[in-house]
Structure 1
Amino acid sequence: MSKSFTLITHDVSKALGTLRNDIPATMQGFNAMAKAALAPGALSAIDKELIALAIGVSSRCDACIAFHVKALIRLGVSREQLMETLAVCTYMGGGPSLMHAAEAVRAYEEMTAGKTPPEINAR
């Protein structure tokens, strides 16, 4: 069975909506931390999302991979930037990271299928 990263982001987003209703203070705090951590500074927004993807790959978190690949596509990541990040993940994490690096490639390919670069960035 092949997983759909588009479906993963949809399903997890629904579940996060439940958490926003049931534990709003926690979710507001988490969202504020994410916004602050990902704000461009000495590192660009793409650099920070690539780091987040690397941690998602290393943690073997399908939802993290899906959300951060989606964000990277929106920010205009190049395939080369993605692949170099996944190479470092594989170097640092060995075989298990390689397997999840392949999942990140599947997420990227699924989310960009049939789209040209301007269309990809508009998503």
Structure 2
Amino acid sequence: MAKRNIKEEAKELNEGMAQLASEIPGVMKGFNEVHHAATADGALSTKEKELIALGIAVAVRCSHCIVAHVGSALQAGATREEIMEALGVAIMMSGGPGVAYSVEAMEVLEGLTQ
């Protein structure tokens, strides 16, 4: 399997989102407000919410979402073990495709923590 430059992928995703914000500012402002409200500490911590988002990203097979939410989970203090357990739940909920996208998420985790 070819080695991915995960940090470059994350940078490109952020640049793309910034471009969207300049092209469709109202939509992206609303999206960012929802994102911040949904991931704010509450009954669940930001870390827990990011782990949930990562599991959903794997289940719905969104590669860019995996990059974003592995990074956000790490920033929120998630450990490798917590991320791996979240991937286990994603596999339970999505079967074989969840295994493939969990391998991708593990590659992202390794790329962001090296």
4+ runs of 1 displaced by more than 3 Å? none
Counterpart for residue 33 of structure 1: 34
**TM superposition score normalised by structure 1:** 0.87
Aligned residue identity for 1:5: I
Counterpart for residue 17 of structure 1: 18
Counterpart for residue 67 of structure 1: 68
2: CA distance between counterparts of 1:27 and 1:83? 30
Aligned-residue identity in percent: 38
Count of matched residue pairs: 113
**Cα deviation 1:36-94 (Å, max 9, x = unaligned):** 00011000111100011011111111111111111111122111111111111111111
Q: Once superposed, what is the RMSD of the aligned Cα atoms?
A: 1.1
- Residues 85/41 of structure 1: CA separation in 2 closer, same or farther (3 Å cut): same
1:1-123 to structure 2, matched below 5 A, reads: 1-113=2-114
* Structure 2: tracts of 5 or more residues without a match: none
**TM superposition score normalised by structure 2:** 0.93
* Structure 1: tracts of 5 or more residues without a match: 114-123
